[in-house]
Amino acid sequence: MDTKVGCYICKGCDIAQSLDVDKLIELATGEMKAAVAKSHDALCSKEGLDLIRADVESEGLDRVVVAACSGRVFPELFEFGEKVLTERTNLREHVAWCHEPNDEDTQMLAEDYVRMGIVKMQSSEPAEAYTEDTSKDILVIGGGMTGLTAAKAAADAGYKIVLVEKEDHLGGWATKFVKVFPKHPPYQELEDSGVEQLIKDVEGHDNITVHTSTTVAKTAGQPGQFVVNLENGNGGKELTVGAVVLASGWQPYQAEKLTHLGYGLSPDVITNVQMEQMAKEGAIKRPSDGKAPDSVAFIQCAGSRDEDHLPYCSGVCCRVSLKQARYVRDMYPDAKVYIIYKDIRSPAQWEMFYAHAQNDDGIFLTKGEIAAVNNGGGKLSIDVTETLLGEDMKIEADMVVLATGMVPSTFVEGAKGWLEGGSEPPSPDEATKKVGEAEGDDAPDGEKKAAASAEEGAGILNLTYRQGTDLPTLKYGFPDSHFICFPYETRRTAIYAAGPVRAPMDLAISANDAYGAALKAIQAVEAVARGEAVHPRAGDMSVPDFFMQRCTQCKRCTEECPFGALDEDEKGTPLPNPFRCRRCGICLGACPERIVSFKNYSINMISQMIKSINIPDEFDEKPRILAFVCENDAMPSVDMAGLARLKYNSMVRIIPLRCLGSMNTVWVSDALASGFDGVVLIGCKKGDDYQCHFMRGSQLADTRMENVRDKLKQLVLEEERVELHELAISDYHQIPKIFDDFLETIDTAGPNPYKGM
């Protein structure tokens, strides 16, 4: 389609003082064939904007290149109607502010950016929202405190909820607790959980349908169109929902594995769960003889913070023991309670609850390690070492309570990735191979695939995704997410984990967590209905298009999509699910046949941009470096370098990518074939502490370096002509050095022999 591009050069903010603006205008209308090119003292001013608007109107422009400041500045000003695409060519932060003014090389740099801006507009189309009929109903899996709260919160907002609980009653663990620890000031007295009222509210809610004794047999489809098969023993039921809240809760760590702490030694060694049950039944009695205990000892971190069991801290057990100590003391005012701990973890205002227990003469808190628990006949005795006094201690008690931790219900026994790093549920066709793999898997940490196969998955969501049945996880079975900044964003669009399945948490926090997950589910169904992406490209309407005739069924896109957006037919042809898509473009980067494109982001668009750049011949001693940078972190970092007026090498041309994982190696070939002397890729951190906003993008970019190296070999070019860097957004000060060092490397390698060919 023919486009009509207008190019507008801003003269403000040192641009006119650094560059020959008239020459840029000549370039735009001449070589680059823009319909209109004009300059203005300040395009962001009313007059500047009016100038563009008038041209859009009178000239019928459908593409506008604003060659001024960063697109991160005043984005709202440069919008000229739905049918007009705008590109922000950054002559300020990327040229005028960080390169020598009125220098030949600076001018050439600006010219190349103008070329790229115009070509980008000539080779992209406005994205149109992709919509279909979608459901805004939400499935909540799990009828405990988290699920009940999520269901009620979303139902109160007007959404229809299907709540599924595998037990025959609602309430989960909360119904098994006598009391919960204090939520209200002065944070000293035990409280009711409030679960009974919540169950009533949910059962009586017009917007909620409850299915007890029911599990999810299968979840197929995509956000807005999930087809869910429920199973309740008397047959199934199929329904369509838009989003899912996974609130399937936790299970106690298996006490059977804690024989070193005396479990199994005597019936009088119990867990905190058994203690709660006893208290709920009305009397705390010594199991062996039904006698009222004179003394009860709590052993904290029983199997927690222990590399042989649960390495993490469940965060609740200290307060649970303090609570259960209160049960004992209230029931038997003369009984003594011992709590043996590593650290007492009573965060926030719960410190007051701890302080209250410290003031009770009948509660003895002792820091120490457990050497042994012995059955002394009648009483149990606990050998404690490493106490604060430096002396070993022996504590005798009628009962021992092991404060065991919480394991997420999504935990899969024997999953290999559990301790070492995250796990990716394997694809059905890989499942057999994975299960057979030996322990000595040499994949790096965080890359190990779990044994959570289609057959052995957690069995809760039962997704029919090509990439597996469950949410991909981080360590310990918790869902993979940016757990600091965007804790709800899992790698399966519109499926949000909440409560202890997401991280260990107490009841009050779980209820809070449910609100967050319910909010995200609502957001997802609304975004899908509008045909927009959810986080992190919220509002993006572009969807990838697959030119299937050229597909070779290599399966790279279906394997690499971090969000499992693509399923496969029997032959391996990708089956896109646009509503699962997060628009990162990783499929576009993966495809060797270059069949994936977005209307406003494509192989052709970037290739044309690369080819538009003017490459001086080898005798000019003006090397050219192409930099592909992640637009999320590295690009703002380059902006900051400009804002801080850091000077860097003007031989570098920067092209932002949606994610470095969307880099297709053909672009590197294009660049080298065009005569670029080197290519530098700058993305986010990969590995266990990845910073990639699309989770897997940086890792995949690294993997693709293999292909790049092969390409270089084919072209008989030096390996060092392509470099990959990780750059945190705050490391803008390192940008000049990255470029300078690379230029030095290229200098040593000499000019690209393909130059001018």
Partner 1 sequence: MALFEPAEDQITADTIVVGGGIAGMTTAIETAEIGKDVILIEKTPSLGGRVAAMHQYFPKMCPPTCGIEINYKRIRPNPHIRVLTLTEIESVSGEPGAFEVTLKLSPRFVNEKCTACGDCEKVCEIERDNDFNYDLDKTKAIYLPHLMAYPMRHVIDPAYVGDERMKKCVDACQYGAIELDMQPRTITAKVGAIVWATGWRPYDAAKIDNLGFGQIKNVITNVIMERLSAVTGPTQGKILRPSDQKEPTRIGFVQCAGSRDENHLPYCSTICCMASMKQATYIREQYPDAEIYLFYIDVRTPGRWEDYYVTKQNDEKFHFYRGKVAKITEGTDGNVILEAENTLTGQITKTEVDLAILATGMVPNNVEAPPPLETVLDDFGFIAPDGDKGIVGAGVANRPLDVSASIQDATGAALRAINIAGRR
Q: Is there binding between residue 346 and partner 1 (CB under 8 A)?
A: yes
In terms of residues, how long is the chain? 757
Residues 124 to 153 in contact with partner 1, rule: CB under 8 A: 153
Q: What is the DSSP string of 104-168?
A: HHHHHHHHHHHHHHHHHHHT--------------EEEE--SHHHHHHHHHHHHTT--EEEE-SSS
Name the DSSP letter for residue 386: S
Q: Which is nearer to partner 1, 307 or 439 (CB)?
A: 307
Residues 310 to 329 in contact with partner 1, rule: CB under 8 A: 311-315
Q: What is the DSSP string of 476-488?
A: GGPBPSBTTTBTT
Q: Which is nearer to partner 1, 246 or 505 (CB)?
A: 505
Name the DSSP letter for residue 463: B
- Identify the residue among 199, 344, 668, 700 touching partner 1 (CB under 8 A): 344
Cβ atoms 160, 137 nearer than 8 A: yes
Q: Which is nearer to partner 1, 124 or 215 (CB)?
A: 124
Q: Is 608 helix (H, G, I), strand (E, B) or coil?
A: helix
- Per CB under 8 A, the segment of 178-186, 463-471, 582-590, 706-714 that binds partner 1 is 178-186
Cβ atoms 295, 337 nearer than 8 A: yes
Least CB distance from residue 171 to partner 1, whole Å?
Answer: 20
Cβ atoms 161, 140 nearer than 8 A: yes
- Identify the residue among 73, 227, 265, 371 touching partner 1 (CB under 8 A): 73
Angle among Cα 628, 26, 629 to the nearest 5 degrees reads 5
- Per CB under 8 A, the segment of 102-110, 486-494, 592-600, 660-668 that binds partner 1 is 486-494
Q: Is there binding between residue 430 and partner 1 (CB under 8 A)?
A: no
- Identify the residue among 33, 394, 733, 737 touching partner 1 (CB under 8 A): 733
- Identify the residue among 443, 538, 548, 575 touching partner 1 (CB under 8 A): 538
Q: Which residue has the tokens 């390409």?
A: 711
Terminal-to-terminal C-alpha distance of the chain:
30
- Identify the residue among 115, 120, 166, 345 touching partner 1 (CB under 8 A): 345
- Per CB under 8 A, the segment of 370-378, 525-533, 592-600, 612-620 that binds partner 1 is 525-533
Residues 285 to 304 in contact with partner 1, rule: CB under 8 A: none
Q: Which residues pair with 297 in a beta bridge?
A: 338, 400
Q: Which residue has the tokens 């109607």?
A: 81
**Which residues, other chains included, contact 735 with Cβ-Cβ below 8 Å and sequence gap of 6+?**
637, 638, 641, 646, 648, 727
* Secondary structure of 410-428 as H, E, C letters: CCCCCCCHHHHCCECCCCH
Binding mask 23-62 for partner 1 (x = CB under 8 A): ------------------xx-xx-----------------
- Per CB under 8 A, the segment of 167-175, 630-638, 646-654, 675-683 that binds partner 1 is 630-638
Residues 554 to 573 in contact with partner 1, rule: CB under 8 A: none
Q: Which is nearer to partner 1, 337 or 735 (CB)?
A: 735
Provide the angle, in degrees to the nearest 10, between the axes of the packed helices 507-530 and 145-156. 40
Q: Is there binding between residue 13 and partner 1 (CB under 8 A)?
A: yes
Burial of 571 (0-12, 13-18, 19+ CB in 10 A): exposed
Query: Measured between alpha carbons, how far is 428 from 431 in angstroms, rounded to an integer?
Result: 5
Q: Is there binding between residue 308 and partner 1 (CB under 8 A)?
A: no
Least CB distance from residue 355 to partner 1, whole Å?
Answer: 7
Least CB distance from residue 15 to partner 1, whole Å?
Answer: 10
Rounded to 10 degrees, what is the CA torsion of 381, 386, 389, 390? 110
Q: Is there binding between residue 536 and partner 1 (CB under 8 A)?
A: yes
Q: Which is nearer to partner 1, 388 or 438 (CB)?
A: 388
Residues 358 to 397 in contact with partner 1, rule: CB under 8 A: 367, 388-390
Query: Measured between alpha carbons, how far is 445 from 441 in angstroms, rounded to an integer?
Result: 10
Q: Which is nearer to partner 1, 140 or 373 (CB)?
A: 140
Q: Is there binding between residue 192 and partner 1 (CB under 8 A)?
A: no
Residues 149 to 168 in contact with partner 1, rule: CB under 8 A: 153-154, 156-158
- Identify the residue among 30, 60, 81, 186 touching partner 1 (CB under 8 A): 186
Nearest to 653 by CA among 683, 688, 680: 680
- Identify the residue among 94, 166, 305, 755 touching partner 1 (CB under 8 A): 305
Least CB distance from residue 145 to partner 1, whole Å?
Answer: 14
Query: Measured between alpha carbons, how far is 340 from 352 in angstroms, rounded to an integer?
Result: 19
Q: Is there binding between residue 482 and partner 1 (CB under 8 A)?
A: yes
Residues 632 to 691 in contact with partner 1, rule: CB under 8 A: 632-633, 636, 640, 643-644, 684-685, 689, 691
- Per CB under 8 A, the segment of 120-128, 258-266, 468-476, 646-654 that binds partner 1 is 468-476
Residues 502 to 521 in contact with partner 1, rule: CB under 8 A: 503-505, 508-509, 512-516, 518-520
- β-pairing, 215-220 with 208-211? unpaired
- The encoded tokens of residue 416 equal 């290999």
Query: Measured between alpha carbons, how far is 444 from 584 in angstroms, rounded to an integer?
Result: 24
Interface with partner 1 (CB under 8 A), residue total 95
Binding mask 229-268 for partner 1 (x = CB under 8 A): ----------------------------------------
Q: Which is nearer to partner 1, 286 or 583 (CB)?
A: 583
Binding mask 680-719 for partner 1 (x = CB under 8 A): ----xx---x-x-x--------------------------
Q: Which is nearer to partner 1, 233 or 539 (CB)?
A: 539
| Range 735-739 contact pairs with CB under 8 angstroms and sequence separation of 24 or more | 735/637, 735/638, 735/641, 735/646, 735/648, 736/641, 736/646, 736/647, 736/648, 736/649, 738/680, 738/682, 739/625, 739/627, 739/648, 739/649, 739/652, 739/680
Query: Measured between alpha carbons, how far is 364 from 241 in angstroms, rounded to an integer?
Result: 52
Least CB distance from residue 504 to partner 1, whole Å?
Answer: 5
